[in-house]
Amino acid sequence: MLTQSTLRLRRDPELRIVRGGSGPPLVWLHGMTAPTPDDTLLNALAENQEVIAPLMPGLAGLDELAELPTLHDLALFYDSALAVLGVTGAILVGHGFGAMLAAELAAIGPNRASRLVLVSPLGLWSDDHPVEDVFARRQPEVEELIWSGSKHRPAVALSQEDAVETLLRFANALGSMANYTWPIPDRGLKRRLYRIEIPTLIIGARSDAWIPAAYAEDFAAAIAGARTAYLEGSHMAPYEDPRAFARAILSD
């Protein structure tokens, strides 16, 4: 069973964390979809792991980012939170922007994780396969983009109140990511990827309309010993079949 709690560090903001399950630790750094206790993907991962899934600052309001102006600040903030939680030797898994953050964490805190999985990672730039500018699109268009090419899009039944909250969190997630990645996501990560020395798996989604699957090879070329794998489906492929995704990364 997953629950949500709040962690107070020695600096703002508070960090909300969804956590649960039993087994070796797995840290999930989300992208467009913020964790909730009933998240089907996290519950699938929690069947064999202790899942620790921080909610990115900014989801409750962009003023939460005032003390975290740069991506480096954000990565150090997460590293401090994981230290307080006593997390070492975890499987570190990130999706989209969360993968960019996971790579930064693995570069600055090499003992925090024992294995790294980057799923449809943001953070590099190539004129040969540019990343779509989601920040220039209306919210419904962003939803269609990230699910474009999906084999299965789960139906979600929400109350009116929950639907409004979900839309607000989605909008704030876009705003938070824009703070760190607009106008292009190259924030110098490519100069730090060489520091990652733990086993790394880069997963691309073949029909990803936002972050082309070709970036999996670009990341792998910059990380010693990294391997690549591919999922069928959209940018949201992990959510299309959560159990299959969980098996794929945990049996690797």
Cα–Cα dist 142/77, whole Å: 28
Asked if residue 157 has pLDDT above 60, the reply is no
Amino acid (one-letter) located at 175: G
Mean pLDDT of 218-225: 98
218: containing domain: 2-250
At residue 190, the pLDDT reads: 96
> Each residue of 40-49: pLDDT tens digit?
999 999 999 9
Distances (CA, A) of 85 to 34, 43, 157: 20, 20, 33
- Residue partners of 138: CB distance under 8 A and separation at least 6: none
- Residue partners of 241: CB distance under 8 A and separation at least 6: 151, 152, 233
Asked if residue 154 has pLDDT above 90, the reply is no
Q: Across the beta sheet with 227-231, what order do the strands follow?
A: 2-7, 15-20, 50-54, 25-29, 90-95, 113-119, 200-205, 227-231
pLDDT-based confidence at 166, cuts 50/70/90? confident
Q: Helices in 30-159 by DSSP H: which ranges?
A: 40-45, 71-84, 97-108, 139-147
pLDDT-based confidence at 163, cuts 50/70/90? low
- Least Cα distance to 52 among 86, 100, 13 occurs for 86
pLDDT-based confidence at 160, cuts 50/70/90? low
CATH number at residue 225: 3.40.50.1820
**Domain count along the chain:** 1
**Number of residues written out for the chain:** 252
pLDDT-based confidence at 159, cuts 50/70/90? low
At residue 162, the pLDDT reads: 61
> Each residue of 104-141: pLDDT tens digit?
999 998 778 999 999 999 999 999 999 999 999 988 89
At residue 112, the pLDDT reads: 85
> Each residue of 5-15: pLDDT tens digit?
999 998 889 99
At residue 60, the pLDDT reads: 83
Helices 139-147, 160-181: inter-axial angle, 10-degree rounding: 80
At residue 251, the pLDDT reads: 79
